[in-house]
Structure 1
């Protein structure tokens, strides 16, 4: 650059500030307690637009120097200024951002992702720079076309020759601009013709203004640069310009205006990152389909188990509650015998029909108080005999128990007072004695005493403890007590409460009334509401148990996902290094691998929900009680989603914490 000297009319040439400036750079590696210093105080400057070859034998430190210059590693001590800014102490993300803005890497082994096309490999740096998909595809295709690969855009690395793969690597290095191109033995794995093509491309890039740093041990390759820096045992032993004479058949072009890295690109987090992470995650899962399906299986089974078991558990709970509710939810059952004393059998002479009348007359909030006496009898009609139960009760029984008559009528209060021998029978009795015959108006013998059938009760089903409620005959209390049982005491008084919210107060009023009548507490009162509450708590406990067992299978599936993801990180260590070299930050790597775990668990959750609902439907098809509801489905799905986040975090963090240099060196 020409500048005017102060106080004169003369100009002089002044070199601009170097793009790379190293001062007393040292690098020490530690192997346990052993410290090995590889670089011993390296100092050098490289101007923008130079073509520099760094030479040295194996172990001389040239690859370590390249890693430091390319910000894949950091020096132990010393100053590294890039484009005028100190960068030696940058953290991992800071180095990643600068690599993305300023550097392009060309590796000896190409380091292309085997599952991606040539275009996708070239796109990679622009993904982390935040370039929209359409724009980066267009730029990647343009670069590949310029490098003679227009007919290989969709080819994967295994479908390309070594020279073609290296050209894809060069296009990738240029994707974000690549002000500085770091070429590590770019011709080392190529035949001579392909090597010449790669060197010609590097000269062309240098002529366009790119700074080229060529790492090589080949003197002939190094001689094509404009400057050679030679390393030996971690020291610079030679730094000389190269004068090109007639020995080169093709002249080395002069560089154009040197390229400086573009700044102010995207550095923060954006929704775009999530979308790209998801896209890359799906691509990675597609590339290893069998392992993905096996990993999905654990999540599918876990989610399906949660959905099916909770639906079946809720169905069983509702079935039990329906049976208890069918007995009446607003009932108080008064039984003879002192509280907390189990009766050994027979009838305890404490309750009478007069007690029921007193409850109806003197206690508020009562709809009905029905005395009952139940006993076994033999019923006969024609040539058929059948043993069943007879319940001697009063006219309000159907109202108190909310159990209507299906056919005929129930006996009235006048029938009770008149001691009429009439009967109302249950559906099971009808099925056993009157198969295909209308029982209304016919007579049956109860313990050889004739009773006329005047009604048939609505089918009720079994009790929660399995007793058949339809296997019974109802007769007037007066008739049954006198002619069938010879008793004046009752077994039960069923009290129907009007306002269920006051059932506990009503229970206490009845208790006090009966204590006053009997002068002792020789009875027990059972609250049906409390029975239902106890049954519900029991069923909830069983449902939680079933859900917990299913959740354990989901947990096992999550552990399987974490295990597979850890294996995936180990297998793809080099890929991670390549992504870091092209500008991926820790956040990008974490998002990619966590997205893979999340994609597995989300897809497994959806399939598991569908499978669980199918199993539940199958149970209902065969008559098992189930309840379809959104809560278990959403719970199972979001548990699977959370499993992906939780169990994907550790593998993702392990991937993000990898050192780029170590990752690139992985086999």
Structure 2
């Protein structure tokens, strides 16, 4: 007799639950030759199922030795045991253990997926096996659409998918009627006839009588063994094959086939569609919130920056006011006067220095009265403000020298006083003083601080000072510079000039518009980050939803995990499967969230909210959704990957 294929020596198996321990197998010794048909018979609780789990490498003995083809199984790690099961063992379970959401063909294909068989090849083989077993018309049926006998045939086909040499059948007829049971036993005899080693676990002596060899077990002890009968089959595979590196194609495809993993994930998610939709909703809302919030934040920032930029970034704004300032009797700041303008205008890098006096006036044109702001200034204002006229001309130096009673209207004022009529050449009363309209400014829009820049009239500086405003001091001076790179040096030169003119008293303030723009941009960036962070909380909540749904999936699909492990899935296969499912949920939710976010942002834009669409926030939101799936899917996936296969198979 050649070396036995399976050799057990003094095997014990003890289960521990806290301090309580139960020994199921007591020193079992058994040899099984290649090509035998063996029935292991015993009553319920005798230890026969535990023995089958040990024989199929689903479990490890507490003590004793299990050698498969001469190789000690104890020397194999978890993944090597999975490889051995995949290449050598085919399981036929009493409860069939089919994946409910998969078709008959897909159930049969499972072992071949982990073996790395190409999709078309395994599909063809699965259909051929099912057809051979009389299920050619049931290829696309799910387990719920098959009878008990048909489900058991699917289980047998799955056991043969990888051309297993050892068939382990646990109560293969226990849940079947007599005819279906007889058909299954006939199939087992056929498999034995083809050289397969068949081991049947049963409590039924009639079933056991179909085997060539009978082994009886009671209370964890073998009480009878009829001995080896029959032939020795083909040369047995060695357990060392489990250690042999798999071909590159196998490593590439053994559920590292991402496409197959995605298909499995979609099938599993479809099986619980309503729950999947609720999970997707959390991701969709989170991603949409991030997209909208960042689009709004970026739009608000850009809007403010554009408005400030419209005032000019090569400007220095000089305003009166500081801890030591001169004030008029009315409490107005009086530290800037017309002579300061001449001193500033003579400095290097200064292109123009534009004074402004401001006040409130009432205009009348015909029977229409209108209250607005008057700005008394000089001819350089359009240059410094980058603000031209849309009709007529602006004030010139001669108007200033002659104290001319002329005015240029802002668009808002022109519309309120004259409507659609042409105001050029017309006279308006400004505080009851007649002024001729010589021009209309181009539309400027709202200032960064919200004021309507078009709600103003311009008059010559000297005229406004003498006839309208009644003051000598200036409200502000706008200094236009040529070289923006020298802005800080020019700012300091203006400061020193004014200090000298004001007797060393710094009773003014100088604001660099370029610096202001940078500060505003930084502030708005902070605001955008804040909005994004708030939105990210929604994404975090969605991620927790993904983790919860995956934990529920692991709990509900514990038996499926056991089936996959029994058919050869390694730890990384199970880990990858559940991570891919989490990623698929997150990717679908992320894509829907991006679409919804962009659509809502577009709606806000139509309603007048400043919006800026950039690829960054979209990529960030989708990337965060994907990362959320990976991070929150890992723990449930890890839990699934480390489930004990025996416990998993016995789960409800």
Query: Do the aligned partners of residues 542 and 564 (structure 1) sit closer, same or farther apart at CA in structure 2, a change above 3 Å counting?
Result: same
Q: Which of 430, 455, 459 is 2:439 aligned to?
A: 455
Alignment of 1:613-628 (within 5 A): 613-628=598-613
Aligned residues: 643
CA distance in 1, matches of 2:232, 2:157: 19
Asked if the contact 1:427–1:458 (Cα under 8 Å) also holds between the matched residues in 2, the reply is yes
Residue in structure 2 matched with residue 586 of structure 1 by the alignment: 571
- Residue 544 of structure 1 and its aligned partner are, at CA, apart by 1.5
The equivalent residue for 1:5 is none
Map Cα deviations across residues 291-310 of structure 1 (whole Å, 9 max, x no partner).
21111111111111111111
Equivalent in the alignment of 1:337: 321
* More divergent stretch after superposition (497-506 vs 367-376): 497-506
Secondary structure at the aligned position of 2:74 is classed as coil
1:230-269 alignment runs, 5 A limit:
230-241=216-227, 257=234, 260=237, 263=241, 264=244, 265-266=246-247, 269=251
Residue 221 (structure 1) aligns with: 207
Q: Give the aligned partner of residue 182 of structure 2.
A: 196
Q: Which moved more, 1:554-563 or 1:476-485?
A: 476-485
1:547 aligns with 2:529: no
Report which stretch shifted further, 225-234 or 654-663. 225-234
Q: Return the alpha-carbon distance in structure 1 between the equivalents of residues 195 and 396 of structure 2.
A: 111
Structure 2 partner of 1:402? 386
Instruction: State the distance in 1 between where 2:91 and 2:518 align.
Output: 71
The 1-side partners of 2:287 and 2:371 are apart by: 50
What is the aligned partner in structure 2 of residue 280 from structure 1? 264
Aligned position for 1:19: 5
Is the contact made by 1:141 and 1:150 (CA closer than 8 Å) also made in structure 2? yes
CA RMSD of aligned residues (A): 1.9
Secondary structure class of the residue paired with 2:527:
helix
Distance 1:461 1:564 in 2: 52
Could you list the runs of 5+ residues in structure 1 that have no partner in the other structure? 1-14, 244-252
Q: Structure 1 length as normaliser, TM-score? A: 0.93
Indicate yes or no: 2:506 matched with 1:524.
no
- SS of corresponding position for 1:270: helix
Compute the displacement of 1:604 (Å): 0.7
1:434 pairs, out of 394, 403, 418, with: 418
Look up the match of 1:648. 633
The answer to whether the 8 A contact 2:93-2:169 is kept is yes
Contact 1:416 1:476 in 2 (8 A): yes
Aligned with residue 660 of structure 1, among 634, 642, 645: 645
TM-score, L = length of structure 2: 0.95
Tell me if 1:270 matches 2:256: no
Residue in 2 that maps onto 1:72 = 58
Q: Which residue number corresponds to residue 302 of structure 1? A: 286
User: Shift of the alpha carbon at 1:86?
Assistant: 1.1
Partner of 1:474: 458
Is 1:165 matched with 2:151?
A: yes
Q: Report how far residue 374 of structure 1 moved.
A: 0.5
Going from structure 1 to structure 2, the CA distance change for 1:458 and 1:230 (only over 3 Å counts) comes to same
Instruction: Give the drift of 1:41.
Output: 1.5
Cα distance, 1:476 vs structure 2: 0.8
Structure 1 residues 664 and 209, CA, compared in 2 at 3 Å: closer, same or farther? same
**Structure 1 residues 439, 571: closer, same or farther in 2, change over 3 A?**
same
1:593 Cα deviation from its structure 2 partner: 0.9
My pick for the range that moved more, 573-582 or 460-469, is 460-469
2:110 is equivalent to residue 102 of structure 1: no
Contact preservation (8 Å) 1:49, 1:210: yes
Q: 1:178 to 1:532 in 2, by over 3 A?
A: same
State which drifts further: 411-420 or 207-216: 411-420
Closer/same/farther in 2, CA of residues 218 and 653 from structure 1, 3 Å limit:
same
Q: For 2:216, what is the secondary structure of its paired residue? A: strand
Provide structure 2 residue ranges, at least 5 long, that are not aligned to the other structure.
none
Match of residue 498 from structure 1 = 482
User: Following TM superposition, by how much is the alpha carbon of 1:124 offset from its aligned partner in structure 2, in angstroms?
Assistant: 0.6
Tell me, yes or no, if the aligned pair for 2:409 and 2:458 is still in contact at 8 Å.
Answer: yes
The CA deviation string for residues 474-516 of structure 1, in whole angstroms up to 9 with x for no partner, is 1111111122223222121110122222212111111011111
Cα offset for 1:444? 1.2
Change in CA separation of 1:278 and 1:393 when aligned onto 2, cut-off 3 Å: same
Q: Name which of structure 1's ranges 623-632 and 525-534 shifts more when overlaid on structure 2.
A: 525-534
Partner of 1:377: 361
